[in-house]
Structure 1
Amino acid sequence: MTVIRHAESRRTETPNAVMTTLASPTQGGSAQAVWRVDMGPGQVGPPHVIDAEQVWTVLDGGATVDLGGEKLTVGPGDTLVIPADVPRRLGSDPVTGFAAIVVAPASMRAYVVDDTRVSAHCAVPDGDKLLPAWVV
């Protein structure tokens, strides 16, 4: 059993959110990546696709999710299961922002949608796909 202390969590800041890695291959030797997402009020992430299923559980605030053209809203206590290879874009509530815990296979990769690149400063290149820094 591995215990990952709070002080050992890794923080990655992008222009749209802060991801705090709670477990990953390099943090606890986990095959699953677990991280917290914090978005300030009115923040909107880039359109992108992930090649693996993700499970998001909302802790605080709310978000609007464009998932494959369908608009969804989520709030505290809601869990969103996002299938692999479906374009998505998340935006936080304009007043409360958004916080969630996310779980996905550590092998997941992000890739381009509509010619919009996933920010290179927050990911590790892997061919045409990117490994987000908070998943490493």
Structure 2
Amino acid sequence: MDTVIRRADARRTTTPNATMTTFASPTQGASRQALWRVEMAPGAAGPDHVMAGEQIWTVVGGAARVEVAGEVVALAAGDTLVLPAGLPRRVHADAERGLEAVVTGPGDDTASGPGRDPVVPPWIA
């Protein structure tokens, strides 16, 4: 049987850095994967962090600069970045256009960072 998650059932989570809209996750119709949209205001930057699982980011609007393990990757609309598990990263939205991306990864993925214990972010759970 197919599971349908209606637009009205999408879950929104807002942090100081971005708004994530969860389309599917283990608690929202998916068995193991999570799929969400990230919207970042112009000039916003996420925290330095490490994800335990691989993530795939596709930029659908705006642009970004992503720091991955000390290297910088520039992304524009239409670009896809595969972020390996376990590497430190930080996402910076374009200063003028912001960032909108669709992201997928494991539904039990954990995020950790300097001085922070691993947690499953609410938009992934």
Give TM-score, length-normalised by structure 2. Answer: 0.96
User: Once the two structures are superposed, what CA deviation does each residue of 1:62-92 show, in whole Å capped at 9, x if it has no partner?
Assistant: 0000000001100110000000000000000
Q: CA deviation at 1:42?
A: 0.2
| Cross-structure match for 1:59 | 60
Write the distance in 1 (CA, Å) between the matches of 2:101 and 2:30. Answer: 22
Q: CA deviation at 1:112?
A: 1.5
Runs of 4+ displaced beyond 6 Å? none
Aligned: 1:46 with 2:47? yes
What amino acid is the match of 1:52?
Answer: G
Residue pair 1:23, 1:30 contacting (<8 A) in 2 also: no
| Cross-structure match for 1:76 | 77
Write the distance in 1 (CA, Å) between the matches of 2:24 and 2:72. Answer: 30
Once the two structures are superposed, the pairs formed by residues 1-136 of structure 1 within 5 Å of their partners are: 1-113=2-114, 115=115, 117=116, 128-136=117-125
Gaps of 5+ in 2: none
What amino acid is the match of 2:8?
Answer: A
What amino acid is the match of 1:12?
Answer: T
Q: CA deviation at 1:30?
A: 2.8
Residue pair 1:49, 1:110 contacting (<8 A) in 2 also: yes
Question: Considering only aligned residues, what root-mean-square deviation do their CA atoms show, in Å?
Answer: 0.8
Q: CA deviation at 1:52?
A: 0.4
Gaps of 5+ in 1: 118-127
SS of corresponding position for 1:100: strand
User: Once the two structures are superposed, what CA deviation does each residue of 1:25-61 show, in whole Å capped at 9, x if it has no partner?
Assistant: 1111331000000000000110000000000000000
What amino acid is the match of 2:22?
Answer: T
Write the distance in 2 (CA, Å) between the matches of 1:51 and 1:25. Answer: 17
Give TM-score, length-normalised by structure 1. Answer: 0.89
Write the distance in 2 (CA, Å) between the matches of 1:81 and 1:30. Answer: 21
